Structure 1
């Protein structure tokens, strides 16, 4: 796929690649699948702490060989089993892309300071916590107990865990902030940015 954003970055990405963006004070971005090729992706949005929510936007686009793996899991964010994501975040979170073969068993153990976990299943059937999942999202009970997974058919999913966001969530049309004042400023920045030549150029992507 091709990509571009209003920070001035543009290019192309192949299968398994990652777009990382810290939106901060505001950014517009666009992407288009390669002609004639199907594309499937995952998108995760994270609320930023006050010290970062209005900072200038930053973005990184990395090919798959930059992402470390541990067994069937690629470490997209955080640290897991002595492997680390290339992206820095000032909060405690793990986010893994996992592919399991039919009948394969795998256990995810959240970090000691994590108290919430979730997964989203894109392919196959998955048995966990006494239920069977198929193309759906699951949120686990609060805590950091190990999560045991059993694949039925070839399975693809993302799984994550984190320490809960300690700030209020103030939601707007485009973003989430920690206060009404920060949300107002962020949405003004986004509206202003939309009028710039950099944003207008995204129509070509």
Structure 2
């Protein structure tokens, strides 16, 4: 007999203009670390442009669904990730970066922040770009980060995670069995309605009870959704304005470094 994995939290997020914030370090991020922040961007035309801004202590993953992104770092690295690809930035000890949308009439994208274990939160910053044809896929599943069954992402994160993009047709059913090392899991339908754990979910982020039980998703309509699971990170989340670290000491070091970089950019 299969026991439904209970939903313990759900939210439609907070929408400001084209951005819906579904998770942040001050709310669900405490339950779902390493996942600590999730924005969904939905705009017409080129959408918002993100000028130079700093981060430290985290990694960011950007998944553009309908457009290309040009990304520039304060270290002079300029790259383009095509729609359906993945942009991964390890901000480490501190970095500034900016991004702008290219070649799209609509902007649909997700940006996720990840807390870093203390061993990596002050590491040398780096940026990696995986184009759409290099992102692993199997059946309805696209693997954005980590591992899923036989799939392994080209990005090697410093934590145990599976981050999936799943597309189902109406009437289809899909079962996700997380790794036995994963104790947290969540899901967010970008389009359509899914039945999961006794509820019909549309455009809400749902958090499942901690554990290793499977998650059964039934597509009420054609649908596309994010699903994340991971081994929960044990550290605290100490927050600055642009930075998240595991301790006040590390936050001070990260914010000091991004201030130094900011001063050099203005000189």
Using the size of structure 2 for normalisation, the TM-score is: 0.71
Residue 208 of structure 2 is matched in structure 1 by 140
Q: Distance in 2 between matches of 1:70 and 1:91?
A: 22
User: What is aligned with 1:203?
Assistant: none
1:32 matched to 2:100? The reply is yes
- Within the candidate set 4, 12, 16, 2:80 is matched to 12
How do 1:41-190 residues align onto structure 2 when only pairs under 5 Å count? 41-190=109-258
SS of the residue corresponding to residue 194 of structure 1 reads helix
Distance (Å, rounded) in 2 between the aligned partners of 1:7 and 1:98: 35
- Taking the aligned partners of 1:150 and 1:105, their CA distance within structure 2 comes to 4
> 5+ residue gaps in structure 1?
201-205
Pick the structure with more strand per residue. 2
- TM-score, normalized by length of structure 1? 0.92
Please identify, of 126-135 and 26-35, the stretch whose mean Cα deviation from structure 2 is larger.
26-35
Alpha-carbon RMSD: 1.4
* 1:144-201 Cα distance to aligned partner (Å, 9 max, x none): 111000112221111010111111211111121111000111111112212233xx6x
Does the CA-based 8 Å contact 2:170-2:219 persist in structure 1? yes
CA deviation after TM superposition for structure 1 residue 24, in Å: 0.4
SS at match of 2:193: strand
Give the deviation of 1:36 after TM superposition: 5.2
**Residue 4 of structure 1, CA deviation:** 1.2
What CA deviation, in whole Å up to 9, does each residue of 1:76-108 have, x standing for no partner? Answer: 111111110111112111101111111111111
Distance 1:36 1:112 in 2: 40
* Residue deviations 1:5-41 (CA, integer Å, cap 9, x gap): 2232213222101101111011122211225521211
State the aligned residue count. 198
C-alpha contact 2:130 2:154 (8 A) present in aligned 1: no
For the Cα contact (< 8 Å) 1:7–1:58, is it kept in 2?
no
